[in-house]
């Protein structure tokens, strides 16, 4: 009796890439949802135990300042060491510190200890985005990089919607410290996803050739690449003039639409839905043709959507405008990140991305500028400055750097 031939078909390289990326995205979703849950728990804990707006501002400063200061060091580490291992150690450190935060809240320890632990954890959290963003392209073939980066951005916005809702539901049935404990245990899911995957790119070979890369190398690279310079310069415009809308939204909702906190929350949720829609649409394509033109169009659309929101007192039109604000702003941001990663070589990606991620530091500066204008001239003029600023400064940059249109 002849023995039947049995062939074991090995999974294709593309299938391995897809499976690895899917595991990584599952862990990223858990991590992002936990981050938003943690933000709600953190702010609520400060208000409950101190009842002080000053302390609330202090905690958020401790949380945000490290993100600006440590972005570049994290990018350097991402180009010198194994990115997966770096993410594992960051998650372990954050998990232990989150457990400690829960204990501090539960046992009513002095507030200064709480501030110190929040700051230490924020230092680790600040190093996660540059490393994670640099790691994503290592998990997929180059033709799928556009979709991978867009999916990663989609996960961020999905977590932005789900996380606060879950945190609010849990706060209604349990104590604040339990949210910290739940977030800490949730980190195990992130660690498991990182332990299950392996990098299938040749980035380790590149690191061996350039394992002494410094920030100066990245700065020289940016200086000699006009296209990368243009992307970084253009990124500042919406951060200064556009994205402060999330900070100013309570003022706009109250003064322009006569809405309370519920309406303010609904408007931000509508914006998040628009953002999610934009990144979802981008995740379905493998290539963006005419990326430079789409970048400019999306910023101009962002500014026009803000002007539409400011110009109306109709709640329905305001809701449509906020949907467009979320759609255009995150379409711009996602295309910008995709274009930047496509232009930068892997061995330089961590450092250049860390420079790009520093653009978040311009949002508080923009909020101060818009807030000052609101105090001097009124809410309507402050909103007009946001929309007109996005449009006018973008057109000035494009006229000075027309190569942006040919990216």
Model confidence at 303: pLDDT above 80:
yes
Q: Which of 220-229, 268-277, 282-291 has the lowest mean pLDDT?
A: 282-291
Quick check: 348 and 79 in contact, CB under 8 A? Answer: yes
Identify the band that residue 391 occupies on the pLDDT scale cut at 50, 70 and 90. Answer: very high
Q: Please say whether the dihedral angle defined by the alpha carbons of residues 335, 336, 340 and 346, taken in this order, is positive or negative.
A: negative
Q: What is the per-residue pLDDT for 15?
A: 44
Q: What is the mean pLDDT of residues 292-316?
A: 90
The model's confidence at residue 301, banded by pLDDT at 50, 70 and 90, is very high
Mean of pLDDT values over 211-217: 63
Which of 338, 360, 345, 359 minimizes the C-alpha distance to 79? 345
Summarize the confidence of residues 388-404 as an average pLDDT: 89
Return the pLDDT at 247. Answer: 66
H or E element that contains 333: helix 315-343
- The token pair that represents 125 in the structure block: 């959290």
Query: Tokens representing 161?
Result: 């919607």
Task: Quickly list H helices, 172-314.
Answer: 176-196, 203-209, 215-223, 226-241, 245-257, 261-282, 291-311
Chain Cα centroid distance, residue 371: 23
- In this predicted structure, the answer to whether residue 16 has a pLDDT above a threshold of 50 is no
The pLDDT-based confidence of 258 (bands split at 50, 70, 90) is confident
DSSP string of 29-47? HHHHHHHHHHHHHHHHHHH
379's enclosing H/E stretch is: helix 379-400
User: Can you say whether the dihedral through the CA atoms of 356, 75, 363, 149 is positive or negative?
Assistant: positive
| C-beta separation of 323 from 342 below 8 A | no
**For residue 77, is pLDDT > 50?**
yes
Contact yes or no for 349/79 (Cβ under 8 A): yes
Other residues' Cβ atoms within 10 Å of the Cβ of residue 368: 12
Contact 90, 27 (CB under 8 A): no
Band (pLDDT 50/70/90 cuts) for residue 216 is confident
What is d(CA 33, CA 158) in angstroms, rounded to the nearest whole number?
8
Binned at pLDDT 50, 70 and 90, residue 207 comes out as very low
Distance CA 225, CA 211 (A): 22
Pick the most confident of 57-66, 132-141, 179-188.
179-188
The answer to whether residue 313 scores a pLDDT higher than 50 is: yes
How large is the average pLDDT for residues 205-232? 68
Tens-place pLDDT, residues 321-380: 999 998 998 888 888 877 887 777 777 777 777 777 777 767 767 777 887 888 888 888
270 CB contacts (<8 Å, ≥6 apart)? 319, 322, 323, 326
| Separation CA 317–CA 321 (nearest Å) | 6
Cα distances (Å, whole numbers) of residue 26 to 95, 197, 264, 277: 18, 11, 30, 19
Report pLDDT for 371. 78
Q: Report the pLDDT value the prediction gives residue 307, as an integer from 0 to 100.
A: 94
Higher-pLDDT residue of 98 and 246 is 98
CB atoms within 10 A of CB 11: 10
User: What is the predicted pLDDT for the residue at 213?
Assistant: 59
Tell me if 282 sits within 8 A of 288, measured CB to CB: yes
Distances (CA, A) of 39 to 110, 146, 273: 20, 30, 20
pLDDT at position 395 is: 93
pLDDT at 1: 42
Q: How confident is the model at residue 13 (pLDDT cuts 50, 70, 90)?
A: very low
In which band, very low, low, confident or very high, does the pLDDT at 212 lie, cut at 50, 70 and 90? low
Lowest mean pLDDT among 47-56, 339-348, 397-406: 47-56
Residue 277 has pLDDT above 70, yes or no: yes
Write a three-state SS string for 339-373.
HHHHHCCHHHHHHHHHHHHHHHHHHHHHHHHHHHH
Higher pLDDT among residues 215 and 122, named by residue: 122
Taking the C-alpha atoms of residue 216 and residue 62, their distance in angstroms, rounded to an integer, is: 28
Q: Which two tokens stand for residue 33?
A: 């949802």
pLDDT at 149 over 50: yes
The pLDDT of residue 253: 78
Among residues 246, 32, 67, which one has the least CA distance to residue 156? 32
**Over residues 98-107, mean pLDDT:** 89
> What's the whole-number average pLDDT of the chain?
77
Reported as a pLDDT band with limits 50, 70 and 90, residue 97 is very high
When pLDDT is cut at 50, 70 and 90, the band that residue 2 belongs to is very low
Predicted confidence (pLDDT) at residue 199 exceeds the cutoff of 50: no
The pLDDT score that the predictor gives to residue 288 is: 65
Please indicate whether residue 405 or residue 327 has the higher confidence score (pLDDT).
Answer: 327
Q: What is the pLDDT of residues 19-36, one digit of tens each?
A: 666 777 777 777 777 777
Higher pLDDT, 116 or 254: 116
């Amino acid at each position: 009796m002849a023995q039947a031939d049995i062939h074991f078909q090995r999974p294709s390289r593309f299938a391995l890439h897809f499976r690895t990326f899917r595991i990584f995205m599952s862990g990223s979703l858990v991590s992002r949802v936990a981050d938003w849950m943690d933000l709600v728990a953190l702010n609520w804990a400060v208000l409950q135990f101190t009842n002080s707006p000053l302390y609330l501002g202090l905690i958020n400063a401790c949380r945000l300042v490290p993100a600006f200061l440590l972005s570049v060091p994290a990018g350097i580490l991402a180009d010198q060491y194994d990115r997966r291992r770096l993410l594992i150690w960051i998650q372990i450190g954050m998990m232990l510190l989150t457990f400690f935060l829960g204990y501090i809240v539960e046992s009513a320890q002095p507030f200064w200890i709480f501030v110190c632990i929040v700051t230490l954890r924020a230092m680790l959290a600040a190093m996660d985005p540059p490393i994670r963003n640099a790691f994503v392209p290592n998990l997929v073939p180059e033709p799928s990089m556009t979709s991978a980066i867009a999916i990663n951005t989609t996960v961020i916005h999905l977590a932005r919607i789900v996380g606060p809702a879950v945190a609010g539901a849990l706060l209604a049935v349990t104590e604040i410290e339990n949210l910290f404990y739940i977030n800490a245990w949730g980190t195990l899911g992130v660690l498991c996803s990182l332990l299950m995957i392996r990098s299938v790119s040749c980035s380790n070979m590149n690191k061996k050739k350039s394992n002494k890369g410094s920030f100066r190398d990245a700065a020289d690279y940016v200086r000699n690449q006009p296209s990368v310079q243009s992307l970084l310069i253009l990124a500042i415009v919406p951060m200064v003039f556009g994205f402060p809308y999330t900070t100013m939204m309570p003022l706009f909702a109250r003064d322009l639409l006569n809405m309370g906190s519920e309406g303010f929350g609904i408007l931000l949720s509508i914006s998040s839905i628009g953002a999610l829609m934009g990144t979802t649409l981008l995740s379905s394509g493998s290539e963006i043709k005419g990326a430079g033109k789409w970048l400019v169009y999306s910023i101009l659309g962002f500014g026009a959507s803000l002007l539409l929101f400011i110009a109306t007192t109709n709640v329905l039109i305001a809701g449509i405008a906020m949907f467009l604000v979320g759609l255009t702003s995150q379409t711009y941001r996602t295309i910008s990140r995709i274009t930047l990663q496509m232009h930068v070589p892997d061995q330089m990606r961590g450092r250049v991305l860390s420079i790009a991620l520093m653009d978040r530091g311009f949002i508080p500066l923009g909020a101060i500028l818009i807030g000052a204008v609101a105090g001097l001239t009124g809410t309507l003029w402050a909103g007009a400055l946001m929309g007109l600023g996005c449009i006018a400064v973008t057109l000035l940059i494009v006229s000075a750097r027309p190569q942006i249109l040919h990216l």
